[in-house]
Each structure stands twice: as C-alpha cells, then as structure tokens.
C-alpha cells in the first residue's frame, strides 16, 4: 500500500511536469491561482479531522479551523481564477481591437 | 461504500488533470477551471460519506465561514492586487495542511502511547514522518506567504532584509528542524513538546527564508511557495493514505517547481542565488564600461508625430505600468494606433511584474485580445522590423547590458531586444535605475528617446493627440 502510494506520487509529479510545461506564459497567473485552489484539496483531510467524534476537543477545534482555511483556499481560488479567465478574450469574441 | 468513495477520488483526480490540460490555451482555460472545480466538489462530497465522519456541525461551521470569506475576497480583489492575493491564499493552503497534520497527531496520540498504530497497520514512524512533513512544509508556506503578502502589498518594505550571520542563523534553524524531525519520528508518542517546537520553528523558518528576497524577485518566491503548498497537501495525503490528496498535491507541487524554473531561467540566475543573495539590496558598483552619453528627451508632442507615421508598434510593459494603473489608457492608445494602420503588439517578459503572468492579466482586464500578448521569444526575431517600441515602467528586462556587458550583474539574462527597433520610447519618471540598481545603456542609445513624466499621463496625452487629429 505504502509503496503504491509513493509510486502514485512519483507518477503524478511527472504528469504535472508534462501538463504544466504546456501552459503558455500568458496564463501563468490563472495557473497559479487555479493550482492554489487545487492545493485546497487538503480539505479532504480537514473534513475527516473535523468530523470524527472519537477524538478530543482539540481535534475538533483544529479540524474546524483547517476546514475553514481550506475552504477559503478552494472557493476563493476557483472564483478568482474564473474571474481572471473570463477577461482573456480573443479578437473574434468580444475584444474591441 | 469505501470503494465508491475511492472511485470518486479517481474521478476527481481525472478532472483536475483534465482541467490543467485545458489551461494550455486561453480559449479553453475557463472551462478547464470549471472542470477542476467540479472535481473538487466530487472529492468533498465523497469524503462526507467517509465512515470516520460522524458529526457534521463542525464541518458545516468551517465550510460556511470559509466560503463566505473566500467568495467575498475573490469577488472584491482588484486585478492589480492579484500577486498579494495569490500569496495570501497560498498561505491559507499551507496553514490548513499544517493544522490537518497537527489534528492527525492528536488523533493518533492515544493509540501511539500504547505503542500501536491508530487503525490500519501503517508503521507509526511512517505516519509520524508524514505528519512532520505536512506541519513543516505547511508552516513554512504559511509564514513565508504572509511575508510575501506583506511585501507585495507594501505593508512592509519590498527591499531585501539582510543582517550579519543570516546564513548561519538559517543553517542552525534548518539543523534544528531536521533534528526535531528525526527525534519526533523515532518516538512520536513521547515528544509532544518537540512537535510544538517544530511548529514554531517552521514558522520562523518561513519568515527567515522570505525576508531576504527583494520585490522584483517575488515571482520566483510566489511560484516556490505555490509548490510548497502542493507538497504540504501531498504530505497530508500520506498521513491519511489518500490518493486524491497525493495526486493533486503533486500536480500543484510540480506546477510550482516548473514556474520557479521558468522564472529563474528568465533572470539567468540559479534558485540559490535568488533565495540567498539578497539581490538588489546594494547598488551595483559602477563597472568600467558604465553607460556614458546623454539621454535624449522627447516631448509627448514630438512622440506623437513619430507614432503617427509608425507601421508597427510594440508596447513593453513592466511593473511600473501596474503601479501607474496605466493598462487601460495603454490599450486605448493601442487601439488608436491600430486604427491609424499600425500593427500593435504587447511584448511581455516572463518576469515582468511581481508574479508570473502579471502583465498578461492586467492587459486582459483592459480588454487587450490575447493574440496581441506576445512572449519574449516570439517578439525578439521580429524586433528589427518594429518602428517604435514603447517601454512602460520596465527597465531591467530591456537592458542591453544583459547582452553586451560581461561585467554587468544581469549579464546573460534574456531580455526583450527593444534596442533593435527603429526607435525606442522610454516612458519614465526620471533617470533612476531599476530594481537591480544597474545602469541602463539603452537610455543613451542612438535610437532611444526618453519621454519623462508619469507613464499614465504621458499615454493619455498621446491618446488625446490621436483623438484630435
């Protein structure tokens, strides 16, 4: 199991390199805010920490805080990326030049 | 149920990958972002069905607070503040991973004190190491991003902060963090205080790593912190043995590393040099071959006559354009030139501005079609045939010393070759040097003219003349 996870990790890094090197520099800022939103995936861990009842109150408080921070990251990240990408217009579509 | 959840995680990972792939063109990028968001929604909903989750009230509270703050901030932030916004949010991602690590430690502790792993058969040392990494990377990301945020929003000085023995202090810090980590991973049940110390140390380390880095090097730092926030999520994935965390964390980690490498290459400096040298803190000593001569000033009125006859114009924007908020008038001037029959392009250096792609976003906001945003490598071969290159608030990225003067600190850095255009207008307040504190021989070139004054006012005056005639 652990080795399999490490294997997944290595493959995902390589895949990431392949994918990201194809992103044009024009879109680097939305790429950063978008990938920032993806890094909010840590919310999955936060949800489990906040939802478990067999652990003490320290875990609750920590879990809730983690959920809040991760949600800010996810919601804010995707929304702001969408706002930015909506501004990139082509000559044909909407651009006034 | 558990299999279903795992399948949803695979679906989410595929959507993330697909979303990133769609970012390869501005035409599909927005859809890609939406696809990625759907992936996130699937991952979150699937997790809520996890058998470990029993109570929902705390989750609901956290989600509501987070959504409110995130949504309001994302809607309100002006495009010019995007660099500090991204830095701030990056920090939130880091602190979330840190807290997840900490909460997992608290959760595992009761079992660990009895010497057994908490659920499952993962070795204690493995989980403990993953927890330590999530906390460490998360902590560095958090405080590092906060310092970057403060610097970018100019709440503190953007200048590098250096003091004697800085490298030694950092070295000691790093050793302490490493030592704590090993001691903790060996006996995590008895080293609670070491764990707390490690959290504090990671915070200090994040601050120390970011303060020596100057304003114009920020693109590298944000990219690197971006990568860290992904790796922290990845470490959190190894704690709870969750594939979607590991996959998406690695994607973000790889993304940040690539951007970091691109930025470093665009400055012809190594990552180590950017992180540790405090570049820009001292004014470079005047080299023997210092630029000599007299800069020739040009009034906006005379500049207009040249532009009016130009067939091909290239704008080269830099951070100064963002500061002057000149992007909208620049676009209007571009349109006026276009109507006048000129071919108009915007040449964008990879490190122009304070984060990767900063200028592109500002110009897109001002309604410049993305076809006109040209990368450095694409514009340079065409520079010979350009009638007028207009430099707005950029300096080091158009400094020909990078090509010619081996003694220059920026020698070897790829630049936009505006000096090869038939004429170059430099919109600038004064003759002051740029961030790197280096003389710019471009100002004294035969074909260069300085148009002094506020960049926005200058462009406005040019625009007014086009409208009159």
With helix as H, strand as E and coil as C, how does B396-460 read? HHHCCHHHHCCCCCCCCCCCCCHHHCCEEEEEECCCCCCCCCCCCHHHHCCCEEEEECCHHHHHH
CA distance A79 to B429: 37
Write the pLDDT tens digit of every residue in B215-230.
778 888 999 999 999 9
Of B66, B237, B360, the CB nearest to A68: B66
Give the pLDDT of residue B280: 59
H/E run at residue B201: helix B192-210
pLDDT band at B283 (very low <50, low <70, confident <90, very high): very low
- Measured between beta carbons, the chain B residues lying within 8 angstroms of A90 are 26-27, 369-371
Report the residue of chain A nearest B107, measured CA to CA: A55
The token pair at B115 is 């010497």
Residue A96 scores a pLDDT above 60? no
Asked if B48 and B9 count as a contact pair (C-beta separation under 8 A), the reply is no
Q: At a CB cut-off of 8 Å and minimum separation 6, what does B291 contact? A: B401, B439, B440, B441, B443, B444
- Measured between beta carbons, the chain B residues lying within 8 angstroms of A3 are none
H/E run at residue B215: none
Q: What are phi and psi of B105, to 5 degrees?
A: -60, -50
Write the pLDDT tens digit of every residue in B64-95.
999 999 999 999 999 888 999 999 999 999 99
- Measured between beta carbons, the chain B residues lying within 8 angstroms of A66 are 62, 96, 99-100, 103
Tokens 């310092």 sit on residue: B147
Give the pLDDT of residue B111: 87
Report DSSP letters for B132-173, one per residue: HHHHHHHHHHHHHHHHHHHHHTTSS--S----TTHHHHHHHH
Query: Of B396, B405, B417, B419, which one is the catalytic site residue?
Result: B396
Q: Is B50 a catalytic residue?
A: no
The full set of domain ranges for chain A reads 26-87
pLDDT band at A92 (very low <50, low <70, confident <90, very high): low
Asked if B115 and B121 count as a contact pair (C-beta separation under 8 A), the reply is no
Residue A72 scores a pLDDT above 50? yes
Mean of pLDDT values over B257-263: 92
Nearest-CA distance from A19 to chain B in Å?
A: 6
pLDDT band at B286 (very low <50, low <70, confident <90, very high): very low
Give the pLDDT of residue B368: 94
How many whole angstroms from its chain centre is CA B55? Answer: 38
CA distance B187 to B23: 45
Residue A48 scores a pLDDT above 60? yes
Higher pLDDT, B203 or B212: B203
Give the pLDDT of residue B278: 67
Asked if B84 and B156 count as a contact pair (C-beta separation under 8 A), the reply is no
- Measured between beta carbons, the chain B residues lying within 8 angstroms of A7 are none
Residue B289 scores a pLDDT above 60? no
Query: Which of A51, A69, A90 should we substitute to test contact with B (largest number of B Cβ atoms within 10 Å)?
Result: A69
Nearest-CA distance from B197 to chain A in Å?
A: 17
Give the pLDDT of residue B435: 63
Mean of pLDDT values over B372-398: 92
Asked if B392 and B321 count as a contact pair (C-beta separation under 8 A), the reply is yes
Mean of pLDDT values over A34-49: 93
Mean pLDDT value across chain B = 89
Give the pLDDT of residue B63: 95
CA distance B42 to B8: 7
Nearest-CA distance from A67 to chain B in Å?
A: 5
CA distance B360 to B348: 8
Asked if B390 and B317 count as a contact pair (C-beta separation under 8 A), the reply is no
Question: pTM, whole model, 2 decimals?
Answer: 0.90
Nearest-CA distance from A21 to chain B in Å?
A: 7
Whether residue A7 lies within 8 A of chain B, CB to CB, comes out as no
Q: Is B28 exposed, middle or buried (0-12, 13-18, 19+ CB in 10 A)?
A: middle
Write the pLDDT tens digit of every residue in B106-153.
888 888 888 888 777 788 999 999 999 999 999 999 999 999 999 988
SS3 category, B41: helix
Closest-CA residue to B227 (of A68, A5, A23, A38): A38
Mean of pLDDT values over A31-37: 94
Give the pLDDT of residue A95: 41
- Measured between beta carbons, the chain B residues lying within 8 angstroms of A43 are 40, 43-44, 47, 96
Give me the count of residues in chain B. 469
Residue B6 scores a pLDDT above 80? yes
The percentage of residues in chain B with a pLDDT greater than 70, rounded to a whole number, is 95
Whether residue A73 lies within 8 A of chain B, CB to CB, comes out as yes
Give the pLDDT of residue B158: 79
The percentage of residues in chain B with a pLDDT greater than 90, rounded to a whole number, is 61
């Amino acid at each position: 199991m652990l080795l399999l996870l490490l294997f997944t990790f290595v493959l995902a890094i390589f895949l990431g390199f392949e994918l990201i090197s194809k992103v044009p520099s024009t879109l680097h800022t939305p790429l950063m805010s978008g990938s920032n939103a993806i890094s909010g995936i840590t919310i999955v861990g936060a949800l489990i920490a906040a939802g478990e009842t067999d652990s003490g109150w320290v875990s609750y408080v920590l879990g809730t805080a983690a959920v809040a921070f991760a949600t800010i990251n996810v919601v804010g990240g995707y929304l702001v990326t969408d706002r930015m990408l909506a501004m990139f217009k082509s000559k044909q579509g909407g651009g006034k030049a | 149920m558990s299999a279903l959840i795992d399948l949803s995680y695979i679906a989410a990972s595929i959507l993330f990958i697909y979303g990133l792939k769609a970012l390869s063109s501005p035409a599909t990028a927005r859809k890609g972002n939406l696809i990625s968001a759907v992936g996130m929604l699937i991952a979150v909903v699937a997790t809520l069905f996890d058998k470990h989750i029993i109570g929902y009230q705390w989750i609901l509270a956290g989600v509501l607070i987070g959504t409110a703050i995130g949504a309001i901030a994302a809607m309100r932030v002006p495009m010019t503040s995007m660099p500090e916004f991204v830095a701030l949010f990056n920090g939130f991602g880091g602190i979330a991973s840190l807290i997840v690590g900490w909460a997992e430690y608290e959760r595992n502790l009761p079992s660990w004190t009895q010497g057994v792993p908490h659920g499952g058969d993962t070795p204690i040392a493995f989980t403990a190491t993953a927890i330590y990494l999530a906390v460490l990377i998360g902590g560095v990301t958090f405080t590092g991003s906060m310092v970057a945020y403060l610097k970018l929003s100019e709440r503190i000085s953007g200048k590098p902060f250096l003091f004697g023995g800085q490298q030694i202090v950092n070295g000691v810090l790093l050793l302490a963090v490493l030592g704590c980590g090993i001691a903790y991973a060996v006996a995590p049940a008895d080293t609670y205080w070491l764990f707390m110390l490690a959290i504090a140390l990671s915070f200090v380390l994040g601050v120390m790593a970011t303060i020596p880095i100057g304003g114009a090097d920020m693109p590298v730092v944000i990219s690197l912190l971006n990568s860290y926030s992904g790796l922290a999520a990845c470490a959190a994935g190894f704690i709870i043995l969750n594939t979607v965390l590991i996959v998406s964390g690695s994607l973000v980690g790889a993304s940040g590393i690539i951007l970091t490498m691109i930025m470093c290459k665009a400055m012809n400096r190594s990552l180590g040099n950017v992180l540790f040298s405090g570049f820009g803190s001292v004014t470079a000593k005047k080299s023997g071959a210092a630029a000599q001569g007299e800069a020739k000033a040009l009034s906006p009125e005379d500049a207009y006559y040249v532009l009016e006859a130009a067939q091909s114009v290239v704008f080269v924007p830099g951070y100064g354009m963002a500061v002057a908020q000149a992007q909208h008038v620049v676009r209007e001037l571009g349109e006026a030139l276009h109507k006048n029959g000129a071919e108009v392009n915007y040449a964008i250096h990879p490190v122009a501005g304070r984060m990767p792609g900063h200028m592109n976003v500002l110009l897109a906001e001002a309604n410049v079609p993305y076809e006109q945003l040209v990368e450095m490598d694409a514009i340079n071969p065409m520079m010979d045939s350009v009638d007028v290159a207009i430099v707005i608030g950029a300096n080091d990225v158009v400094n020909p010393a990078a090509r010619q003067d081996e003694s220059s600190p920026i020698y070897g850095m790829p630049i936009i070759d505006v000096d090869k255009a038939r004429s170059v207008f430099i919109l600038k307040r004064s003759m002051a040097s740029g961030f790197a504190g280096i003389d710019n021989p471009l100002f004294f070139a035969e074909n260069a003219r300085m148009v002094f004054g506020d960049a926005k006012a200058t462009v406005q005056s040019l625009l007014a003349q086009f409208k009159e005639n």
